[in-house]
Structure 1
Amino acid sequence: MSILKRNNVIVSGTGDTVMMFAHGFGCDQNMWRYVYPAFQDDYRTVLFDHVGAGNSDISAYSFKKYSSLEGYAEDIVEIARELNITNGIFVGHSVSAVMGLMAAAMAPGIFKTLILVSPSPSYINQDGYTGGFSRSEINELLESMDNNHLGWSMAMAPVVMGNPDRKELGEELANSFCKTDPEIARQFARTTFLTDKRDILSQTDIPVLILQCSHDVIAPEEVGRYMHQHIPDSTLVIMDATGHCPNLSAPEETVSAIKSYLHEQ
């Protein structure tokens, strides 16, 4: 099976440097539609869907492989190698931000810079670390999803989006959640919310931009500050954008922050 077909890889834009965009849980590459065009004049842009999401080849989904974030990170490396990417820029949203950290460690040289949008290495409060949720809250979230995927999607999406005055954004995210196969969504949720990758932060040896939204219930400000403290060559930008998905709710600010950072590199 073609790797590019498996992950519905779309390559466009011009330039010698590749900028790869990775979407978060319950989404697909369409979530970048307001952001990536701003970089097409200067970069070759790469969009893709994680296996099980969007227009990926669902027959390639393996419950064993994707029970850990390593499976997704391996896919990112495979796409990069298939496209002969070296010294690229990786832009990852939410859980894909951590996948980018992992992929960069797995295959040194494919990326020279990581842009992490609303990232979190661990969602559970523990050992003095504030992840945003207690273990019991995560268990309740996963149980609710198991019992009623559609209802969970409709209730959770507006909370994740965090822009109550713009209901259309929450509705779009809810529709995206609902499009995902429930069995795959449940596994991806467990893989996302039960993972703790704090240990890899200090091992990151390339420049990292952390874009932290204001009032993000999924990845609160303490998480962004924690990552900034533990990633050696990192820059933290606290955005005016609220919620967890600035690529949809505040694309202009997102683009501006990324461009400003890359201009200074």
Structure 2
Amino acid sequence: MDILHRHHVSTYGSGPQTLVFGHGFGTDQQAWRYVAPAFAARHQVVLFDLVGSGRSDKSAYDFSRYQTLRGYANDLLELLRTLNLPKVVYVGHSVSGMIGMLAAIQEPALFERLVLLAASPCYVNDGDYFGGFEPADLEEILGFLDRDYRAWSDTMVPNIVGGDMRPDLVDDVLASFSEVDPAIARQFARATFLSDYRSELPKLRVPTLVIQSAQDSIAPSNVGHYLHEHLAGSHLDILNTTGHYPHLSAPVATISSLERYLKSA
């Protein structure tokens, strides 16, 4: 199988360092259109779609392989090996942050640094851990998605994106969600929102930046602090913005955070 075709890989820019951008649930590589180009003058930029999203090869979607995020992590490793790049800086939004973390734990030699943007290792409240959702509430949300993915998207997306998002960008995110096959969306949502990778955090040995919105209904700022506390040697940057898509709603702040981190090497 052609891995580059499978993920609809796009590359541009030039420089000694490569930035690979991974998108979140319901979106595709176009979600990086306000951030990734800012790095093209001094970096090689790689964008890709997760299988089942965007313009990826939908026929490659395997319901067994993608029951958990490890299937996507294995895809990422295959992609990086195929591109035959030196160590990359991987920037993962939301669920792709955890996908990148799992991949970096498995093959740290492929990664120079990780950037986790609005990522979460666990979405469920558990004792003194605040992930953002009570178990019963999350099951109700996923049940709604199971019954009517389109109605779920129309209801959830305006709440997820936050008040900082321009109306036209909200429409863009809704359009992206609508392109996902409902059966794939149902499985991907459960693989994402019912996952718990907190026990994996101490295994990560790749330097990491955690970027979090000050207010995010999906990954609250507490989650950012939790990641920072449990990822050895990590850095934390809380952006003064709301919503789960700071790379769309606050691209200048997101770019600035990334640039500061890259210059800190």
What's the TM-score, normalizing by structure 2? 0.98
Identify the residue that residue 196 of structure 2 maps to in structure 1.
Answer: 196
Q: Residues 180-221 of structure 1: CA distance to partner in whole angstroms, max 9, x if unpaired?
A: 000001110000000000011111112100001011000001
Instruction: Say which SS state the counterpart of residue 226 (structure 1) adopts.
Output: helix
Corresponding residue for 1:252? 252
Q: 1:27 to 1:165 in 2, by over 3 A?
A: closer
1:130 to 1:15, Cα distance in 2 relative to 1, 3 A: same
Shift of 1:170: 2.2
| Identity %, equivalent residues | 45
* Equivalent AA in structure 2 for residue 155 of structure 1: T
Alignment partner, residue 4 of structure 1 = 4
Number of residue equivalences: 265
Structure 1 unmatched runs, 5+: none
Correspondence for 1:114 = 114
Moved segments of 4+, more than 4 Å: none
- Output the CA distance in 1 between the equivalents of 2:155 and 2:175: 11
Q: Which amino acid aligns with 1:39?
A: F
Determine the C-alpha separation between the residues in 1 that align with 2:29 and 2:22. 7
| 2:100 matched residue in structure 1 | 100
Q: Secondary structure at the match of 2:132?
A: coil
CA distance in structure 1 between the partners assigned to 2:217 and 2:92 by the alignment: 18
- For the 8 Å contact 2:4–2:79, the answer to whether it is kept is yes
- Structure 2's unaligned 5+ residue stretches are none
Residue 85 of structure 2 is matched in structure 1 by: 85
1:161/1:169 contact within 8 Å kept: no
Distance in 1 of aligned mates of 2:130 and 2:165: 28
Indicate the SS of the match to 1:103: helix
- Residue 31 of structure 2: aligned partner: 31
Quick one: structure 1 residues 232 and 137, their matched pair in 2 at CA, closer, same or farther if it must change by over 3 Å? same
What SS is found at the alignment partner of 1:112?
Answer: strand
Bigger drift between 47-56 and 10-19 goes to 10-19
Is residue 162 of structure 1 aligned with residue 162 of structure 2?
yes
Distance 1:5 1:165 in 2: 32
Asked if 1 retains the 8 angstrom alpha-carbon contact of 2:164 and 2:241, the reply is: no
Contact 2:164 2:249 (8 Å CA) reproduced: no
